[in-house]
Amino acid sequence: MDRRSFFQTGVLGTAGLALSSRSFSAAFQGGAPKRVGLIGSGWYGKCDLLRLIQVAPVEVVSLCDVDGRMRAEAAEIVAGRQVSKKKPRLYSDYREMLKEKDLDIVLVGTPDHWHALPMIAAVKAGADVWVQKPTSVDVVESQAMIAAARKYKRVVQVGLQRRSTPHLIEARDRVLREGRLGQIRHVEICCYYPRRSREAPPDTAPPDYLDYEMWTGPAPMRPFHPTVHPRGWRAFMEYGNGTVGDMCVHMLDMVRWMMNLGWPKRIFSSGGIYVHRQGNANIADTQTATFDFGDLQVVWNHRAWGEGVDPQYPWSATFFGDKGTLKASVFRYDFTPLDKGGQALHGEPLYEYEKYPEDQTEKDLEKHCASAIRGQMKDFLRCIESREKPVADIEEGCISSISCILANLSMQLGRSLAWDPARGRVTGDEEANRLLRRPYRSPWVHPEPDAV
């Protein structure tokens, strides 16, 4: 069976991802288009929103961003892409946007330190929510997000779109589910991208179009410098969880999804800033983490320096089985059987330029990820109609995100952490448990699972 036949036989359909835009149009004919608001209109906020516009007859009515330039640019782009050609209402404070209580769907595409509060506020306002990964910057935030989604009975999809990546669905179904790997007892996941800034520009006043006080929000206040905004915030632990929180969460989640794994039993991590000591970034440039699932070890490595292990797979997962090996990334997959007479398999991303020609010219779009985001959006919309849990439900997203947060805590403390998912705490380590909640900067109040 070739790849075209594989997809035509309904593999994506069985995953709930193959509904076409026409199908959604028909499903929504009985009522008005879904009303959508976006919080965080920068890079991936726009990428996600524009994929949603591609697959469903939604009406984007609200945009929120603390950066006036980003907000205005996003409004122009949205007006040019949505059917009505209307410009959305613009807000600089997400709380004012949500006060309207007229949104069916809210997308949260902010920096990581701003994921929890807007997501919780959006479900309270009656919206179903798409929130980018990782779900949070600390463990208790994630726990409060799950509690809010369940309490208010909202559908919450996390932007862990490897679960909707066509060639990775193919790899899961043709390699893992068909048993071509045999027993899998070890998986290696990695990132060797230079994700850490080495610049050290002087502190300066924030630009007049940026509300830096609101941008900082509950995070510690740092002097502004231009490596932080836009997009440079990932190099600072005040706003996220380093490369583990940014890149490992994708690969770990992919492995969990492909292998139907729950929580790791124990996590250990070590690393630090070993090479790139210049600059003002404070995330680790080198880190190893072991996620122990009992009879399976998933081991993460990242380096922001030196050469990667495999230049074809610089950000990837490698599944080692007793019958073969599978390498998988956003760009390709390769299965190599140990039996020299066995069938090797190869897959690449699904590009849909004939159907979505705008993908070819859209600024900053990761073209190889566009079909995956569309698939994840289709699944989200299907679950909004059925009220089922989506493929990257908030709980699944929190498992992967919390596991990465715990890896950083292990590195900080210098010891392994045993996680008790039933209690939501580290077993026998009160020092670690005190670190599950980051302090919030006043006047912002940390969300609590029992008080959302």
pLDDT in tens, 106-132: 999 999 999 999 999 999 999 999 999
Indicate the pLDDT class of residue 30, thresholds 50, 70 and 90.
low
Enter the CATH code of domain 3-162. Answer: 3.40.50.720
At 200 the pLDDT is 81
Burial profile 85-106: b = 16 or more Cβ within 10 angstroms, e = fewer: eebbbbbeebeebbeeeebbbb
At 18 the pLDDT is 41
pLDDT in tens, 250-264: 999 999 999 999 999
Least confident range from 7-16, 63-72, 307-316, 400-409: namely 7-16
Q: Which two tokens stand for residue 301?
A: 């490595």
CA dihedral of residues 120, 121, 123, 127 (deg, nearest 10): -140
For residue 181, is pLDDT > 90?
A: yes
Least confident range from 178-192, 240-254, 270-284: namely 270-284
Q: What angle do CA 427, 187, 292 make, to 5 degrees?
A: 10
For residue 28, is pLDDT > 60?
A: no
At 368 the pLDDT is 97
At 27 the pLDDT is 42
Least confident range from 29-43, 289-303, 326-340: namely 29-43
d(CA 164, CA 128) in angstroms, rounded, equals 19
Q: Which two tokens stand for residue 297?
A: 């070890």
Q: What share of the chain is helix, strand, coil (3-state, %, to 5)?
A: 35, 20, 45
Q: Where in the chain is the domain with CATH 3.30.360.10?
A: 170-351+394-451
Indicate the pLDDT class of residue 319, thresholds 50, 70 and 90.
very high
d(CA 385, CA 51) in angstroms, rounded, equals 18
Least confident range from 12-21, 146-155, 194-203, 324-333: namely 12-21
Q: What mean pLDDT do residues 393-421 have?
A: 98
Q: Where in the chain is the domain with CATH 3.40.50.720?
A: 3-162
pTM surpassing 0.85?
Answer: yes
CA dihedral of residues 152, 154, 160, 163 (deg, nearest 10): 130
Q: Which of the two residues, 324 and 17, has the higher pLDDT score?
A: 324
For residue 10, is pLDDT > 60?
A: no
At 278 the pLDDT is 84
d(CA 423, CA 314) in angstroms, rounded, equals 36
In DSSP terms, which residues pair with 227 in a beta bridge? none
Q: What mean pLDDT do residues 69-93 have?
A: 97
What whole-number percentage of the chain has pLDDT above 90?
Answer: 89
In DSSP terms, which residues pair with 301 in a beta bridge? 190, 288
At 45 the pLDDT is 96
At 148 the pLDDT is 98
Question: For domain 170-351+394-451, is the CATH number 3.65.10.10?
Answer: no
Q: What does pLDDT average to over the chain? A: 93
